[in-house]
Structure 1
Amino acid sequence: MRRRAAGALLGAVALLASGCGIRGTSVPVDAGPAPSRASCQAPEPGRSAEGAGRVTVRIYLICNSRILSVSRSAQLTDEKTPEPLQVARALLEQLQDPPTRAEEEAGFSTAVEDWVRISGPAKGKGDPNGALRLNRLPEELQSYALAQIVCTFAETTVADSRHRVVLGGPDADRDPLRRYECTGEMRRHPEIAVTSGVLVA
């Protein structure tokens, strides 16, 4: 009787040690992102700092492999209607700023690095009004960074009437312009941003 009990116990230990019957493999398995305790609840915007040209803007940050909007207070200009390029640069600075303490505690981060720069349409090259040129090709940015930029710009005067953003690289002779749209799919899966651009005819 004791032998049977001991045998049963050894069998149970062996089963647990073998991972409940699942064999190990040397092939990496993508099980998705690790579970996160981040709330991804955008913090309530604080009272905007007073001063001419300071407004509340919405930018997109990363949380749990998605991009979600948060409110920030940004300095634009003293002009009542700033140029799209001025708006784009002010928003880019916000995307490059580290998350606030409240944003960080909620799990937010940014992939937009400090070296990213934006200029307006190339003169004499046929660029449409509202086109923006980055100092690198859009598809050379991290996919999350590009998704952040596209979705942040799409809700402002930087975008066209259909909320699409036209971006290109620094060389107007070689770098074609592409039109990007902030879709629900892009917000849920920012990795698609780098392949989502449509050539501007």
Structure 2
Amino acid sequence: MTRPPHSRRATRAPRTGPGGPPIRAWRRAVALAALALAAAGCGVRGTSVPVDAGGAPARVSCKVPAGDTGAAVPDGARVTVYLVCSSALVQVERTVARSEGTPAEGARLQEARALLTELQKEPSAAEQAAGFSTAVPQNLRVAGPRAGDPADALRLSIRPDDLPSFALAQLACTYGAGAALGRTHAAVLGGPGDDAPERYACSAEVRTHPDIAQNAGWGDPLPR
């Protein structure tokens, strides 16, 4: 019997698994499933939502533990100083030696110098842990008023406007809270030159934004 001639090769039907889809498609599905399992094993999550890379840095508390008032001072007096924390001024309690038996003007100057010393100190370990720092220069000095100055004026060894703005705000608020300085919520400050002292108020805005301390108009010139 003569075999009929073939003009072209017959088309081969795709191989299939038993009762299932073509083998090539089945292998592709198995490969994809294996990749998915491998990714899951590596901790990769198939999601379009951004993956959390960890918590944000912890914020400082700006609160010193109760009872921490600095170095122990026998029979010391508690005072309030303003330190820098989170770009604002926050009050902190310190303990300083008492000044007794001095004339009123001497007591004012003693407190001003004691408060300046506290502002120049390196914050304690507890204060640093809470986020506190100070901007007051170590070489700053304070003296009483000159002839012709207002009675409540204080003369600094650096012009107030030449101080860092945060330092000027710290002085205004700390001196403004001083008991012997009248608790006036302001400080009358002058420099080493002949310029008249100016009044620097410790307002809520200054405490929140100490960088405005050197802005024009923040100091009020006083008559001499």
What TM-score does the superposition give when structure 2 sets the normalisation length?
A: 0.66
Q: What SS is found at the alignment partner of 2:79?
A: strand
Task: Pick from 136, 158, 161 the counterpart of residue 136 of structure 1.
Answer: 158
Q: 2: CA distance between counterparts of 1:166 and 1:50? A: 29
Task: Work out the number of aligned pairs and report it.
Answer: 163
Give the AA of the match of 2:74: G
Which residue of structure 2 lines up, in the alignment, with residue 181 of structure 1? Answer: 201
Would you say 1:148 and 2:162 are equivalent positions?
no
* Worse overlay, 175-184 or 149-158: 149-158
- Whether the 8 Å contact between 1:76 and 1:86 is mirrored in structure 2 is no
Distance 1:50 1:88, change over 3 A: closer
Q: 1: CA distance between counterparts of 2:82 and 2:156? A: 18
- Whether the 8 Å contact between 1:165 and 1:180 is mirrored in structure 2 is yes
Q: 2: CA distance between counterparts of 1:71 and 1:160? A: 18
Distance 1:85 1:142, change over 3 A: same
Q: What SS is found at the alignment partner of 2:199?
A: strand
Which residue of structure 1 lines up, in the alignment, with residue 28 of structure 2? Answer: none
What's the CA shift for 1:77?
2.2
Which residue of structure 2 lines up, in the alignment, with residue 112 of structure 1? Answer: 136
CA offsets per residue over residues 120-152 of structure 1, 9 Å max, x none?
A: 0013xx111121010111010000011111101
Name structure 2 gaps, 5 residues minimum: 1-56
Which residue of structure 2 lines up, in the alignment, with residue 3 of structure 1? Answer: none
Q: 1: CA distance between counterparts of 2:119 and 2:84? A: 10
Which residue of structure 2 lines up, in the alignment, with residue 100 of structure 1? Answer: 124
Task: Pick from 86, 96, 99 the counterpart of residue 77 of structure 1.
Answer: 99
Task: Pick from 47, 59, 62 the counterpart of residue 40 of structure 1.
Answer: 62
What's the CA shift for 1:44?
1.6
Query: Aligned runs of 1:154-173 on 2, under 5 Å?
Result: 154-157=176-179, 159-160=181-182, 162-171=184-193, 173=194
Give the AA of the match of 2:123: P
CA offsets per residue over residues 32-65 of structure 1, 9 Å max, x none?
A: xxx762111133233783535x211110000110
Q: What SS is found at the alignment partner of 2:161?
A: helix
Would you say 1:199 and 2:207 are equivalent positions?
no
Which residue of structure 1 lines up, in the alignment, with residue 114 of structure 2? Answer: 90
- Larger-Rg structure: 2
Aligned Cα root-mean-square deviation (Å): 2.3
- Whether the 8 Å contact between 1:158 and 1:165 is mirrored in structure 2 is no
Q: What SS is found at the alignment partner of 2:192?
A: coil
Give the AA of the match of 1:94: E
What's the CA shift for 1:75?
1.9
Distance 1:61 1:178, change over 3 A: same
What's the CA shift for 1:158?
5.2
Name structure 1 gaps, 5 residues minimum: 1-34
CA offsets per residue over residues 82-111 of structure 1, 9 Å max, x none?
A: 611110000000000000000000000000
Q: Percent identity?
A: 43
